[in-house]
């Protein structure tokens, strides 16, 4: 293909994945602490399984450390719920 020829542009229709919760117009998408904890687990598992290249590990590790620090800070700031046996 010469430099003067252009590839035809393709349009990709974006839709939510099957089973994804629908959001009402004007309502923001929520991201919970449980979602972030799940993301931390995904990063840990993907790293253990070798999903990242060596040159990507610094970036992944930096994000993982920030996420871990945030989750630790949130868990320390949440009030302790009394256990059922301590009534």
pLDDT digits (tens, 9 = 90+) for 24-74: 566 788 999 999 999 999 999 999 999 999 999 999 999 999 999 999 999
The reply to whether 39 falls in a domain is yes
Distances (CA, A) of 42 to 14, 36, 75, 77, 86: 24, 10, 19, 24, 35
Query: Is residue 18 domain-resident?
Result: no
Q: Quick one: pLDDT at residue 27?
A: 75
Give pLDDT, residue 53. Answer: 94
- Assess if residue 40 is contained within a domain: yes
In a domain, 47, yes or no: yes
Query: Which structural domain range is residue 37 located in?
Result: 33-77
- Would residue 2 count as lying in a domain? no
Q: Of the ranges 18-27, 36-45, 75-84, which one carries the lowest mean pLDDT score?
A: 18-27
Please state the separation of Cα 64 from the chain's center in Å: 10
Note the pLDDT of residue 12.
Answer: 46
pTM of the predicted model, to two decimals? 0.59
Q: Which of 44, 34, 35, 84 is nearest to 64 (CA)?
A: 44
Query: What integer pLDDT is reported at residue 61 of this predicted model?
Result: 95
- Tell me how many domains the chain contains: 1
Confidence check: pLDDT of 78 > 60:
yes
- The reply to whether 68 falls in a domain is yes
């Amino acid at each position: 293909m010469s430099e003067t020829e252009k590839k035809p542009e393709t349009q990709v229709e974006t839709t939510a994945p099957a089973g994804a919760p629908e959001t009402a117009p004007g309502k923001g998408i929520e991201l919970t602490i449980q979602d972030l904890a799940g993301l931390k687990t995904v990063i840990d598992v993907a790293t253990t399984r070798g999903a990242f290249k060596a040159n990507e590990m610094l970036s992944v590790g930096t994000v993982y450390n920030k996420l871990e620090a945030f989750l630790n800070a949130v868990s320390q700031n949440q009030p302790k719920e009394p256990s059922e046996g301590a009534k």
